[in-house]
Each structure stands twice: as structure tokens, then as C-alpha cells.
Amino acid sequence: MTPNKKAKAMSPVSYAVLLGIVAAIIAGAVMIIVIGNPANTITITTREVVTSTETVTVTTRPPPETTTITVTQTSIQPMPINQTDGRRCFVFVNIVGTNATISGGVVYASGPFYIDVEVVRTAGGCDAALDALTAGSVIKVSPTTPHVVPGTAGTHGPYRFEFTASGYGGISFRLTTIAHVGGACVETCMLVGRNLTVEPPLKKCEPSLRFVGTNATAISPGVYQVYPGMAYYIDVEIGGYVPNPPYASYFVQLTPLPTTYVTVLPPNPRTVSTPIPPSQSTRFEFAVSPSAPTGHEFAALIEGWAATATGLRECIAKLEGPRFRVANRTCDIVIKLVKTNATQSGGEFIMEEGKSYLYVYYIYIPNAYGTLEVKGERAVIYEVKALDYRLITPPSGASVFVGTDYFLFDPLPPGGFEAEVSFLVTAISSGTGNLVVRALMYDQARQYLPCNKSLSLPIVIKPPPIKACEIRINAPPNIHIWTNGGPGSLLVTYDVGIDTTPDGLNTVLTITPQTPITLVSPSSPYTAVSDFLVGVVLRMPQSTSPGIYNVIYSATASGQGTQCTSRAVTLINVTRCHWKIEVLNKTPLMLEAGRSYIVRVAVSGAPYPARLTASSSNPSAAQITPNWPGAPVITGDGIYEFRVDALASGNVMFIFAVRSEAPFEYCNARVAVNATVKPREEAICKPEFSIKTNMTDLGGGRYQILPGGRYEVLIRVGGSLPSGNYRLGLAFGSPLNGYITWVNPTTGYRDFSAPPLPVDLSYVFQVSPGAPQGSSSPLRLVLSPLGASNCRLNQSLVVEVGKPPCQPRMAVRTNATEIGGRYYMEPGKVYEFVVSLYVPWAYTNMRLSMSANSGTVTTGPYSTTPTVSVSTGSSGSAAYFDISPPSPARPLSGQFTFYITPTGSTSSVEIKYESEFTPNGPQCVSAIRRNVTAMMCKPEIKLDTNATIVDVVGNTYSIVVDPGAPYALRLYIGGVITYPVAVWMWFPPTGITITPLSAMIPTPVPPVRTLDFVMQASGPGTYLSTGRLLVGDRPGLAPNKTCYELLLKIQASQWDFAIKREPGGNLTAKPGASVEAKLYIVTVSGTPRRVYLSVESAPAGWSVSISPTSGIPDFSAGVVISIPTSAVPGIYSVVIKATSGSVTKYHTINIIVS
């Protein structure tokens, strides 16, 4: 369409410029641009427009190509027309028509489309050329030349532009002024174009609604049964396509039709998020009125929609959901006995007077409501006690109360209910009766009638049998004896008691000791009437070698029509006693009359307690007495002191003896030392120093100390000194004098008087922890007089500062299972790790930490010896104890507790000791690292059996078997099991035998493990047998944690089947040919079960195939018999065997070969 006024031709210069612009757009294919400004083009200033840029990536095929288009969109912000400025007017391009969809600045189109525009001038000016420039996957089809727009004020057009789009692109409408031919005009307005982005059309909103499920009971396709007063749910899936934008959410509403007697619980409608896909799910809950009549039906209408900004519904979907029918409540409670240790015989349960028996019942209610009471009825001949329960299908929110003889489940939410309850029945007196267990379900609101069911079992209580003969030998299990290895022997005495049931039996006791031990008394065999006590005397040579020796007892009791035997043993542990005595003083002893001395004796050996004594051969010259608390008794190895008083000159011998107390007084030792007592002489200046210290003696007058330590130097001043007062001082030289603190005395010197001599002087000093390791200094001992005497003595030692050893010792005690250096821990369970730490020399700060690669670690209680300051900290998977050193430094021991809660990802733990911290880190590090296996039990178990499986629901298998026939049960144990111990155990009821009852499952799983069992039903009936996978974390102990349970519902009944064949009669064939027949296996009586077909016999060289080889009647199987070419004419027989449990049949097919 073209304008009809003032149409003038475009100048060649202007048109060339426009063509250049289009060429630039098409060649670049990335941006709409304008190269240069023609002289007659008005530029739009940034004060009048707002510009935004959007980048769109477009992929086209074929060939694969990606194009990026940047489209600049301009939003016009008009300025007021200034009447004094003729240029303050505008020329606008407006869109007035299109067959595409335009939203904002976006055109949604694919293929050919058009856009009609009009031009509005607010004042007169020059004529203008109107053209459309394209980019990306958009091509302008027409017009081929620009439209000419008159320069008069007003609305011009519409002007049509036709395009084709194959993907993302852009369109720019441009106005360019055109000068009059042969003259010029003055443009008084600004020319304003229009930019558009082109995108493929939006996909149509097409939602879909799908009914997923409900907890109501299905009674026919699409129809479900509900009960008055109950609540139910409906699950709905929202799929299809719902875009966002423009729809931020989607609404779904449930409407019952009719709405009477039904209330939908809020919120309704429900909101799901968009976009869709992915599909969303929601659940509606509704309640059926208690007054809803039986037979009332209602449908579930499900509607969905999206709302626009103005509230209009769009994107609507509807679903005619399932129908629901209100039913009357029925009294339906199932009670079955599933396990008891009472003996079942002829339909009766046999119990023994005075004993207790376990009865386990299975309770099943298809539609539970209200309160359930399960009660065991008492009787005169027995008592009933409620013991335990197990919820098989646990109802949400139900509480359980266990009374004296009943269980109360309240409330029971609607739905199926399964549980096991166990009663302990104690037989009081003999007799017959019935054991009655009653289940009563009632509604406390009285909306429904009570439901009452009971199970009565005939019982017989028999008097206890006459007790059989029983004999008990009460002998000591262990005896510890010490021998000295010398000549002679010792006697061992003890009592042995014989106790029999009944009393008064003639008993023969035989006692047989192991060589070299001999029996002194009683004579063996020994005969007496029970009950009795006999003293046993054994003789043991002192030369008996250390070891374990046994004494075996054998007793036979008879009389009163009974006879019984018993054996017992006593283990005698023989240990060689030993003693060592060493006099620590220099011998022979040189004593001076009138003085007292201390003699030190070191004693070691066994057995304790013992007596340590000393005697003097010449009491007039010297006397000796023990000098320790409790003397002369000693209870352990040690150094013991004796006081010696020298009385007069002469020679004397001191005899030291140690002897164990009774009954091991024969264990002893002795040692003697000589001594000389001289007359007292006038003292001269000949002092002597003898040094004892806890510093480490390196030899040659050199000693070693450690940083932070406290040391004692005990100096004995001996020899002789003139009478007077003296001072003995100790002083360290450089550099240690700056690191030593004298503790006692603080001055470093002590004063004393002579005589008497010798005199012992103690000096205690403390070493700074910072004492330079490896340095050494002299330690000077200076003896000086304090009076007129001039007797002096100087002596020096060399003291070195050693490096403390980095030898921490750690031991770990934990309740986690350790196997082969690996810990087994259950995720989420808290484990305790108690670390026993011993540091040989603690003088700097220490840290004991525990960390795991995954999990939570915290600290617990701790204790140290000696007591020191300890601080704790933790952060996620690590925790620590910061331990201060004792003062003075010394060995440190302690116990520190960590708690770890592992996760399924925990694979290692580490306990680390660190000390001697420097800027470069700790210099002393010791660590214990252990790998961890997370104990998980997530099994996947499949049951395979040659019994007929009629149904599988979850872990419950319903099978049909023949009474008396053995059936194979094979379990495939897969999934993940990492516990150290795993066992499968069966708990069959009376009437079902499963062998073996238990089987170990090798762990870990995977790989898949296979277990095989054999099951047999003793007679017809319906049985429930439970199998459980038990796991444990202690090898050698029976596992007790159930992580999987399988239920076998076994129906044992007789049945029969028949075999028919088509074609009937004899079959004929040629050598090298084959014949076919079809067998029909049909049920004659009873519940059908799987029948297995096999070839029982066939002629040599013949081939027989059967397909299928098993099935559940009624079914058919094809038989193909191939005859070898070597077959000679005659009549041959092929026998087919059909087996199902205890029923086996044979079918013979005769083939005539001609």
C-alpha cells in the first residue's frame, strides 16, 4: 500500500545509504547498525530514548550453524512540544496490523507473515522514506523499495511489509527524510523508528491431569470402597506443558460430585509450581461423613487452570477421576497362632506343670478403626501374661499399652492393620481346658458396633515327670601352688563335695591326679552315701616343674532305680618360688664404735607376703633392727633399711633372711655379710662425698638432666671431720645457672655439725623447660667450715641438658568393632574411643586429637596423672585436648575420651599426639590411623523356590505346597551389607520344618550371596513362617539386630492333576524324521501349583525336547521327538515325568517307526 499525497522520488544518495545499511546487517548477521549519518537524517539523542540490548543465540539446521543476534530496542520518551522551537515535534511509526503474535517488542512468527504500520506526524515537514531492515533469520520479502510518506502533518498509511522467518532475528523500521526535487524543505520534526525482535512462536499451553492412586480399597476398575467417618487421599499428577512465563503457577481443584457427605480438606485448590515439565504431583485429602449411607456414590472431578493477571482462567484441564462407593463396616478380624514352644499333638497343645510357654499370635484387620484390645483369658489351670508385640504394618499415630494380660492399640487410623502379640502362659496345675485369646475392636464414639473375635486352643497340662538321677561334684576349679625346686615334697589339702538328686544314693568317687602328683587320701575309689564331703590330700614334690596339672574326678551314683555319672577337674598351677637378697652398702662393713648406721637391702622374688629379718652373730659388738613400717612383713619388691648400732670393737656377721608366709613358708632365701667394729678415733680432716641423685648417671662424673625436670642430689658427707660447724653449697656454672631454680633449700647450701658422721644432705632444683638442649655446665660441691676449722673440700660434676625422647605411647579402647586393624561402625550411632596416653617426659604443651574424614567428633571426660590443666575443642569431624605439662616435668599418663558419630561416608579415623611446637610445626608427632567400614544393611533379597508362588506383595510370598513333600527355598542376598556378622534365621510355626534353621551370610555384600534351605509341611493347613536377616558387629557373638524380614504365607493342601495328549494313541514316523505332540496338564482337585516336566526315559540316540518345562495348570507343553536315521522299524516308548511336590505322574508316548 502506498501513500497518495506528495509522493516524491528518493534521492540516489539517500537510497544508496539505506542499501549500505541493509548490506551491513545481512553481511554481519550479528547486529543492526547504521554506518554514517546522511546529511538529511535526523539523529535521535539519548536524552529522548532508553536503549536496552538482548543477545539471542539461534541454531539452524542444516548445516549446523549458530548465530548471535544483538537487537537494540528503543523506548521512546517524548519531550513536550516547544512552540517556539519548530523542531520539537515527532514522526512516529506505529504497528496497526499483523498476522503474527506481537508481545511488547517481540514478534512470535515462523514462515511468512506481514506487519502493517502507520506513520503519525505532529507537524509538517519533508517527505520521508519508510523502510524495514532485517537481521538474523528474518528476510524482508516486500516491498522491494521503501514506502514514501508525505511530509504533511497527520496519520499516513497503513503501509504493509511482508517477511519470512526461519528462526531468531530482528526488524528495524526506519524513516529517512527526502528533499524535494529541484529544491529543499525544512524538516521540523524528529524521525522516530521502531525496533522489533523476532522469535519462534510460543508453544501452546497443553496441561494434562492423571489420577495416580488412593488409599481407598479398589473393588472394580475405577471404583473404590470407602467407609463412613474415615479420611482418604487422592494423588494427582500434573503433566503436559505449562510455560513460565506467562504462568507463574498452576491451580488444581478436587470437587466431589455430588458434594453431600464428602468434605475436601483445605487447601483446595492446591498450587503447583511451573514450568511443566517436569511433571508435578499433589495430594488431596477428603473425609467421608459418619452419616454417609451405605451405597452412596460420588465421583472425583479434578480441574486445573492457570490465572492471568486480570484473574481470567486459561490453560484449563479436566479429569473425571475415580468413583467411590460407601460401604458398611464388617467385623473382620483374623487371629492365628504362628509360634509356640508347647508340644502339639493331635490338635492339642501339651504343657508341663510348673513351666512357662510362649504363644505368638498373628492379628490382621483389613479395615481398622477405633480401639483394639487383644486379651488372653485366664483359667484355673494356667495363668496368662502379656509379653511383647511387633507391628507388621505400623499404623501412623497409634499408641500401644501393654497390660497384665492384654494389649491395647489406640487409636487405630483407617486402613489395614497387622501385628504379632506374644503371651507367656504358665501351667499351674495338671488338667485340660482351652486357651482363649480374644480380640475386641470398638469405637469409643459408638458410631459402629463392636467387633469381637476369639481363638480357642485345646490344651493339656501334664504333671512334671519324675526327676532323673543327677550328680554334682563340687571341687575347686583352680589351685595355685609354689614350689622351691629343691628336695622333699609338700602336701596340698582341700575338700570335695558330692551332691545327688535324689539324696541317699550309693556313690563311688574316683580321684586321679596327674603325675608327679600323688593321692595321699582318701583311698580311690572312695565309696559313701550321698550327700557327703571328703577331704583330699595330695603330695607334690618340690622339684615339680612349673606348669598346669589336673586332678580328674569321676563319680557314679546308683540306687532307688536310677543311676547317673559325672566328671569334674581341678587345675593346679605350679609356679617356682624365687627370692633374691642384695646388700647395697659396701662390704665388708667398716663400723666405728659408738655410732649408728643404715644398711640398705634390695629384695625381689615371690610369693608375697613374706617376712624379711636380720640377725647379728655378735650382739655385744653390733645390733641390727628393721627400720620400715610394718616390719618385718614385706608385700612387694623394694629396698628395705636396717639400723645398725655399733657398740664395741670386734667382728660380727649380719644374716639377712626372707621367707614366704604360710602356706608357702618353704620358699625362702638368705645372705650374710661381715662387719668390723673399730674403736672410736679422734676425727681428722678427711671428708668424703658420696652422691645419690635422680639425674641420669653418664659415667665419669657426668650426669644428664631434661628440660622442665625437678632433681634431687643427696650428698652423704662421710670420712672424718674435726668437730665444728660446716656448710655444703652447690652451684651451677654458665650457661645453666640461668635456667636452674633451687627449690630446697632455696639458697643452694645447707649447714651441719660434725660429729656425727656420716650426714646426708638433700638438695632439690628445678630446670626451666627452656634450658638449651645439648648444653652442659659444671655443678660445684663446696664444703667450707663455719668456725675455726680449716677443713675444706671442693668437688665438681658435669651436668648436661639432654633431649627428651619423643616416645609417646597410645592405646585405644572402643566399643566399635575392630577386626584386622579396621573399625566397623554403624552410621548415625555414637561410638566411644578412650585413648590411654603415656608421655615419658612431659615438659611442653601437648595436643591429643581425633579426626575422621566424615562424621562428627566431640570430646568427653578425661583424667591425668599427675593432674594438669586441659582444655578441649571440636570442629565438625575433628576434636582435641590441649594438655599443659606438669610442673615439674615428669612422665604423664592419662585417659581421654572422644565420641564419634560416623556417616555412611566415614572411611578412616586418626588419633594423633603432637608436642614440642615450633614455628615450623610440632617436632614430636605420633599417630594411630585406622580404616573404617560403615556398617550398613540395605539388602535386596529375592526368594526362589520350586513351590508354587501365587502372589508376592513386598516382602510377603504366598506359596502353595503339598503336605509331606520337601521344597527347596533359595535366597539371593544382594544389596549392601557391610556388618561383620550376618545370619539368616527362619522362625517356622508348628507344622513347618525348615532345614537348616539358620545360615551364615558371608560379608560384605556385594557380591550376591546364595543360601539354600529345604521346607516341608507336616500336614494340611495355612501357616505363617518368618525369616529374618540378623546382623551384628561382634564376631563370635550371635547377631541380634533385624534389618530385613520376609514372610512366607504357606497353604498346604492335597491336590491332583491329570495329563492329556493330542494327538492320542500311537504316533508314527520314519527314521530321520520327527513327531510332535501337545501335553495338556489340568487340575483334577485342590489348589493348582507348579508342575515340572522332564524326560524320564527315551531310546538311545533319540532327541526329546519339551517346551515349556513347567507351568501352573491348566497349561499345555509341546513335545518334539526326533528319530535318528539309524532307527530300525519297531515300536519305541518315550516316558515323560510330571512332578509337583509329592504328586508325580508318568505319561508314555509310543512311536511306531516304519
**In this predicted model, what pLDDT tens digit does every residue of 1014-1028 receive, in sequence order?**
999 988 888 889 999
Mean pLDDT, to the nearest integer, of 879-883? Answer: 96
pLDDT at position 610 is 94
Highest mean pLDDT among 68-72, 463-467, 1066-1070: 1066-1070
b/e sequence 887-921, b meaning 16+ C-beta within 10 Å:
ebbbebebebbbbbbbbbebeebebbbbbbeeeee
Q: What is the C-alpha separation between 19 and 4, in angstroms, rounded?
A: 25
Tell me the average pLDDT of the chain.
84
Its CATH architecture, for the domain 206-326, is Sandwich (2.60)
Is 365 a residue whose pLDDT tops 90? no
Distance of CA 436 to CAs 352, 429, 563, 640, 866, Å? 18, 17, 42, 80, 68
For residue 65, what pLDDT is reported?
38
What class is the 1056-1153 domain?
A: mainly beta
The better pLDDT of the pair 103, 769 is held by 769
Nearest CA among 97, 187, 194, 98 for reference residue 150:
187
End-to-end CA distance of the chain: 99
User: Confidence band (pLDDT; 50, 70, 90) for 283?
Assistant: very high
Partnered with residue 1133 across adjacent β-strands are 1150
pLDDT of 630 strictly over 60: yes
Residue 23's CB: how many other CB atoms inside 10 A?
Answer: 11
For the chain, give every residue range classified as CATH 2.60.40.3880: 686-797
pLDDT at 474: 93
Picking from 393-407, 787-801, 1087-1101, which range would have the lowest pLDDT averaged per residue? 393-407
Q: Return the percentage of the chain with pLDDT > 70, whole number.
A: 89
pLDDT one-digit tens code per residue, 446-475: 556 678 888 999 999 988 765 568 899 999
Question: Within a 13 Å sphere around the CA of 1044, how many CA atoms are in the beta-carbon half?
Answer: 23
Q: What CATH fold (topology level) applies to the domain 578-678?
A: Immunoglobulin-like (2.60.40)
Which residues, other chains included, contact 810 with Cβ-Cβ below 8 Å and sequence gap of 6+? 835, 836, 837, 838, 911, 913, 926, 928
Could you tell me whether strands 1009-1017 and 562-576 are parallel, antiparallel, or unpaired per DSSP bridges?
unpaired
| CA count, 13 A, side-chain hemisphere, 847 | 19
Which class would CATH give 12-199? Answer: mainly beta
Q: What is the DSSP string of 931-970?
A: EEEE--EEEEEEEEESSEEEEEETTEEEEEE-TT-EEEEE
Cell numbers found for residue 892: 604423664
Task: Quote the pLDDT of residue 108.
Answer: 83
pLDDT at 467: 58
Reported as a single tens digit per residue, the pLDDT across 956-1010 is: 998 888 888 899 999 999 999 988 889 999 999 888 999 998 899 998 998 999 9
Q: Order of strands, edge to edge, in the sheet holding 596-606?
A: 578-583, 596-606, 638-646, 622-626
Average pLDDT in the 75-79 region? Answer: 35
Rounded mean pLDDT of 176-203?
A: 76
pLDDT of residue 950: 81
pLDDT at 553 over 60: yes
- Mean pLDDT lowest for which of 72-76, 527-531, 617-621, 831-835? 72-76
Hunting for cell 499525497 — which residue is that? 5
Contacts (Cβ under 8 Å, ≥6 apart) of 19? none
The answer to which of 243-257, 681-695, 854-868, 938-952 has the lowest mean pLDDT is 681-695
List for the chain the helix, strand, coil content (%; round to 5). Answer: 0, 65, 35
Between 318-322, 509-513, 590-594, the lowest mean confidence (pLDDT) is in: 590-594
Asked: is 937-1052 a CATH 1.20.210.10 domain? The reply is no
Among 177, 163, 155, which residue's Cα sits nearest to residue 96?
155
Q: Which alpha helices (H) appear in 125-233, and where do they start and end? A: none
Q: What is the mean pLDDT of residues 641-669?
A: 91
DSSP symbol at 15 = H
pLDDT of residue 61: 32
Helix and strand element counts for the chain (H, E): 1, 90
8 Å CB contact between 912 and 810: no
pLDDT of residue 968: 92
Lowest mean pLDDT among 326-335, 932-941, 1065-1074: 326-335
- Give the per-residue pLDDT at 397: 61
What residue ranges of the chain are covered by domains with CATH 2.60.40.740? 334-462, 809-930
**Grid coordinates of 8:** 516524491
- Determine contact, residues 369/230, Cβ cutoff 8 Å: yes
608 in Cβ contact with 660 (< 8 Å):
yes
Strand partners, 512: 552
Q: Tell me what pLDDT residue 762 has.
A: 94
How far apart, in whole angstroms, are the C-alpha atoms of residue 377 and residue 357? 15
Strands (E), 608-736: 610-616, 622-626, 633-634, 638-646, 650-660, 668-678, 686-693, 696-699, 702-705, 710-720, 724-732
**All three cell numbers of 914:** 603432637
Q: What is the pLDDT of residue 38?
A: 31
Under the banding of pLDDT at 50, 70 and 90, the label for residue 37 is: very low
574-597, pLDDT tens digit by residue? Answer: 999 989 999 988 888 888 887 788
Could you tell me the pLDDT band of residue 303, with boundaries at 50, 70 and 90? very high
The CATH topology of domain 809-930 is: Immunoglobulin-like (2.60.40)
The strand order across the sheet containing 702-705 reads: 696-699, 702-705, 793-801, 776-785, 724-732, 749-754
The alpha helices in 138-187, defined as continuous H runs, are: none
pLDDT of residue 681: 64
| The residue type at 97 | G
Q: Which of 433, 415, 333 has the alpha carbon at shortest distance from 373?
A: 333
Flag whether pLDDT at 671 surpasses 90. Answer: yes
Measured CA to CA, the distance from residue 833 to residue 812 in angstroms comes to 7
The set of cell numbers assigned to 961 is: 505346597
Q: What's the pLDDT score for residue 88?
A: 57
CA 95/CA 765 separation, integer angstroms: 104
**69 — pLDDT class (breaks 50, 70, 90):** very low
Residue 71 pLDDT > 70:
no
* 199 alpha-carbon distance from chain centroid: 54
Q: What are phi and psi for residue 211, nearest 5 degrees?
A: -75, 125
Q: What is the pLDDT of residue 393?
A: 64
CA–CA distance, 626 with 646 (Å, rounded to integer): 15
Domain 686-797 fold: Immunoglobulin-like (2.60.40)
**In this predicted structure, what is the pLDDT of residue 516?**
94
Q: How far is CA 480 from CA 518, 552, 575, 976, in A?
A: 16, 16, 8, 52
CATH 2.60.40.10-classified regions of the chain: 12-199, 206-326, 470-576, 578-678, 1056-1153
CA–CA dist 284, 824 (Å, integer) = 45
**The three three-digit cell numbers of residue 393, written as one number:** 504394618
Instruction: Delimit the CATH 2.60.40.1510 region(s) of the chain.
Output: 937-1052
Among 88-102, 205-219, 813-827, 877-891, top mean pLDDT goes to 877-891
**Per residue in 119-171, pLDDT tens?**
998 888 888 899 999 999 999 999 999 999 988 888 999 999 999 999 889 99
Residues contacting residue 59 through CB under 8 Å, at least 6 positions apart: 65, 66, 167
The CATH superfamily label for domain 470-576 reads Immunoglobulins (2.60.40.10)
Q: Tell me: the pLDDT tens digits for 389-446?
A: 888 865 556 688 888 999 998 887 767 788 899 999 999 988 888 999 999 888 766 5
C-alpha cell read off for 586: 659396701
The C-alpha cell that represents 656 in the structure block: 639377712
* Residue 11 pLDDT exceeds 80: no
At 674-727, the pLDDT tens digits run 999 888 765 578 888 889 999 999 988 899 999 999 999 999 998 888 888 999
**Which of 488-492, 653-657, 949-953 shows the highest mean pLDDT?**
653-657
pLDDT at 7: 34
Enter the CATH code of domain 334-462.
2.60.40.740
Q: Given pLDDT bands bounded at 50, 70 and 90, which one contains residue 866?
A: very high
| pLDDT at res. 897 | 96
948 vs 55, residue with greater confidence:
948
SS3 19: helix
Rounded to two decimals, the pTM is 0.39
pLDDT of 1050 strictly over 80: yes
DSSP letters spanning 988-1053: PPTTEEEESSEEE--SSBPSPEEEEEEEEESSSEEEEEEEEEEEESSTTS---EEEEEEEEEEEE-
What's the pLDDT score for residue 346? 79
What percentage of residues in the chain have a pLDDT greater than 90?
Answer: 47
pLDDT grade for 333, boundaries at 50, 70 and 90: confident
Positions of E strands within 184-278: 190-191, 194-199, 206-214, 217-220, 223-226, 231-241, 249-257, 262-264, 270-273
Residue-level pLDDT at 529: 92
**95-99, 892-896, 935-939, 957-961 — which one is most confidently predicted on average?**
892-896
| CA angle, residues 758, 764, 768, in degrees to nearest 5 | 155
Distance CA 1076, CA 1098 (A): 15
